[in-house]
């Protein structure tokens, strides 16, 4: 397979992680998840080296200086996230396309860098109200953190047009089906966009 990348970006709470997980299990032979490095603490159930490489800020800054990241960002104040060059190379070496679950600005950086090698998909939540409800329902963050995520989401919705595709997620099952079509068209070079 050619060296390809599939980027899923969205405000947090839009459902992108669920869609990404679905695709990774359906296309396990074709796709592998790009594990980002980040400096936040793991949540319950999160595993180092599977969900993220959880590293210290010092280590992160060192890797920036060593130019080990293809993109990185201070996604929330004091919390860094980034994609390691070695991660993309690891996945391509295994003859798979790289799957990203990444914030909106990071997603656009990758698209601009990799151009037609990359398919950039923006997952659009039905509304800010639904997004807020989903985030509060998750119960994994403090109120301050939640408000920060919601403020960030408002700004991120403005970038949707810059992606190759906007995937609406008001119904998860339909969104997953549409995502499957998009991925198949892109991976197998089909032009019959439907
Ligand atoms: P969370 O803390 O909820 O896991 O992630 C916060 C945000 O950071 C999400 O939008 C997630 O997609 C994004 N993110 C995860 N990895 C990366 C990365 O490598 N680079 C960038 N720019 N954002 C990332």
CA distances from 146 to 13, 38, 111, 123, 140 (A): 10, 18, 28, 19, 9
State in Å: Cα 73 to ligand 1 middle.
Answer: 9
pLDDT score for 191: 67
Residue pair 72/85 in contact (Cβ under 8 Å)? The answer is no
Can you say whether the dihedral through the CA atoms of 74, 126, 134, 174 is positive or negative?
negative
CA distances from 7 to 105, 140, 151, 183 (A): 11, 25, 22, 10
List the alpha helices (DSSP H) in 27-117. 57-65, 85-93, 104-114
**Nearest-CA residue for atom 24 of ligand 1:** 102
Nearest-CA residue for ligand 1 atom 14 is: 102
Task: Identify the pLDDT of residue 178.
Answer: 97
Tell me how far apart the alpha carbons of residues 103 and 36 are, in angstroms, rounded to a whole number: 11
Residue 17, both tokens:
């992680």
Per-residue pLDDT of the chain (194 residues; tens, 9 = 90+): 679 999 999 987 788 999 999 999 999 999 999 999 999 999 999 999 999 999 999 999 999 999 999 999 998 889 999 999 999 999 999 999 999 999 899 999 999 999 999 999 999 988 888 888 877 777 777 888 888 888 888 899 999 999 999 999 989 999 999 999 999 999 998 765 54
Could you tell me how far CA 45 lies from the centroid of its own chain?
Answer: 19
Domain chopping of the chain, boundaries = 5-187
Q: What are 132's strand-pairing partners?
A: none
Ligand 1 cavity residues, CB under 6 Å: 12, 36, 40, 71, 73, 75, 81-83, 101-103, 106
Q: Does domain 5-187 have CATH number 3.40.30.10?
A: no
Q: What is the pTM of this model?
A: 0.89
Extended beta strands in 34-76, E state: 36-38, 52-54, 69-76
Pairing of strands 79-84, 36-38: antiparallel
Q: If we measure between CA atoms, which residue out of 28, 32, 29 comes closest to residue 6?
A: 32
Cα 107 from Cα 120, distance rounded (Å): 7
């Amino acid at each position: 397979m050619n060296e390809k990348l599939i980027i899923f970006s969205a405000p947090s709470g839009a459902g992108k992680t669920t869609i990404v997980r679905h695709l990774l299990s359906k296309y396990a032979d074709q796709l592998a998840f790009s594990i980002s490095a980040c400096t936040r603490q793991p949540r319950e159930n999160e595993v180092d080296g599977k969900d993220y490489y959880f590293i210290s800020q010092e280590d992160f800054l060192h890797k920036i200086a060593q130019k080990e990241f293809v993109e990185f960002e201070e996604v929330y104040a004091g919390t860094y996230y980034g994609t390691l060059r070695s991660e993309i190379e690891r996945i391509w070496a295994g003859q798979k396309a790289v799957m990203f679950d990444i914030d909106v600005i990071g997603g656009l950086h990758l698209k601009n860098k990799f151009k037609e090698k990359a398919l950039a998909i923006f997952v659009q939540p039905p509304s800010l109200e639904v997004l807020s409800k989903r985030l509060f329902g998750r119960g994994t963050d403090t109120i301050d953190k939640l408000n920060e995520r919601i403020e960030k989401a408002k700004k991120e919705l403005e970038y949707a047009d810059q992606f190759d595709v906007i995937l609406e997620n008001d119904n998860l099952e339909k969104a997953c089906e549409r995502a499957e079509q998009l991925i198949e068209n892109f991976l197998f070079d089909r032009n019959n966009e439907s």
